[in-house]
Every structure is written in structure tokens, then in C-alpha cells.
């Protein structure tokens, strides 16, 4: 069973947070102009924020986009020294699958379109701007499935991944 990585995200001092919203009939360019947003913006503490529309989900609407249309946090980044080892540990502990079957030594996404953990090597550029390099920041992720009370320790890294 594929698992959603991010049902609830706390501690927003994370390196990347994608925010998914219900699809709108409004074009991306028109939406950005209306909201006066750039495609990717940084928040007050330097997190990259972007609105992500997954067009393969059954949540289309003809309503104009507004903050009320934001559904959930779609992606959260976790910077680690060893991507493959942490990917394996998260998969074994919580059953998180590779997103679209892709993995590398520097970047792997775990979960599905309803929630992804982006496991990356320190110093890797965050796409699409690449000038913001990945770094370690405290983050707490609460998963939406699994054994209640289960958690994972990341040693010296300031991460908490748990179940409610």
C-alpha cells in the first residue's frame, strides 16, 4: 500500500514545503498575475513555497483559486548525509514507497501526490531556482497511517517523523 508522507506537518522551519490546491480552470499565468505571486516564493525565514497542482487527482473545480482552496502540505524536505540509507530506513519503518519509482544518491521522493518526503543530500540545490542550497532545519512530520505512536529517530538530525 502506498503511503502519504504528509498528512500533517508541524515545525515549518523546513527547507521545502509544497502546497497542493484543488485544480482550477484558471490558467497558471492568470492565477499568478491575479495573486501577484511568482512561481516560487521564499517565506520570511527562507523556505521555498510553491503551489503544486496534481492534475491526476480527482479534485478539479471551476472555482477561482484562493487560500481556501489549499488542501494540504504536499512536500517537505529532509536533508541527510546518506540519502539511500535514510530512504531504506523510512521505507522499512513506515512503508513509504519511492515516488514514481525514481531514486538517486542525492535526491529521493517518498510517498505519493497526497504527501511527499523529499530526502536530499546537504548542499544540493532546490529546484527550480537552484540558488537555495539544501540545509538541515528542524522539522516534525506526522504521517497519516501506520502503527499509532510509532516514531523514527534520525540521530543528531533535528527531525521527528511519527504517527498520531
In a domain, 78, yes or no: yes
Q: What is the pLDDT of residues 61-111, one digit of tens each?
A: 888 877 777 787 788 889 999 999 999 999 988 888 999 988 999 999 998
- pLDDT for res 159: 92
Please state the domain count of the chain.
1
Is the model's pLDDT at 140 over the cut of 50?
A: yes
* Confidence (pTM): 0.71
Whether 126 and 134 have beta carbons less than 8 Å apart is answered as yes
C-alpha cell at 39: 512561481
Whether 45 and 137 have beta carbons less than 8 Å apart is answered as no
In a domain, 43, yes or no: yes
What is the rounded CA–CA span in Å between residue 141 and residue 160? 6
In a domain, 155, yes or no: no
- pLDDT for res 8: 31
CATH number, domain of 109, equals 3.10.180.10
In a domain, 131, yes or no: yes
Considering the chain, what is the average pLDDT of its residues? Answer: 73
Is the model's pLDDT at 155 over the cut of 80?
A: yes
Length of the chain: 164
In a domain, 51, yes or no: yes
CA-CA-CA-CA torsion sign (90, 143, 100, 20):
negative
- pLDDT for res 118: 93
In a domain, 3, yes or no: no
In a domain, 4, yes or no: no
Domain holding 50, by residue range, is 14-135
- CA count, 13 A, side-chain hemisphere, 147: 7
- pLDDT for res 43: 60
Amino acid at each position: 500500500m502506498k503511503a502519504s508522507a504528509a498528512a500533517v506537518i508541524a515545525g515549518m522551519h523546513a527547507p521545502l514545503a509544497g502546497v497542493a490546491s484543488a485544480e482550477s480552470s484558471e490558467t497558471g499565468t492568470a492565477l499568478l498575475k491575479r495573486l501577484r505571486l511568482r512561481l516560487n516564493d521564499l517565506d520570511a525565514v527562507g523556505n521555498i513555497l510553491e503551489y503544486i497542482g496534481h492534475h491526476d487527482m480527482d479534485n478539479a473545480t471551476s472555482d477561482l483559486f484562493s487560500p481556501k482552496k489549499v488542501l494540504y502540505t504536499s512536500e517537505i524536505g529532509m536533508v541527510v548525509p546518506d540519502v539511500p540509507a535514510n530512504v531504506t530506513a523510512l521505507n522499512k519503518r513506515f512503508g513509504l514507497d519511492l515516488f514514481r519509482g525514481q531514486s538517486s544518491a542525492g535526491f529521493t521522493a517518498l510517498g505519493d501526490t497526497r504527501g511527499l518526503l523529499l530526502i536530499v543530500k546537504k548542499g544540493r540545490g532546490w529546484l527550480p531556482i537552484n540558488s537555495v542550497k539544501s540545509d538541515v532545519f528542524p522539522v516534525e512530520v506526522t504521517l497519516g497511517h501506520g502503527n499509532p505512536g510509532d516514531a523514527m529517530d534520525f540521530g543528531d538530525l533535528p527531525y521527528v517523523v511519527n504517527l498520531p
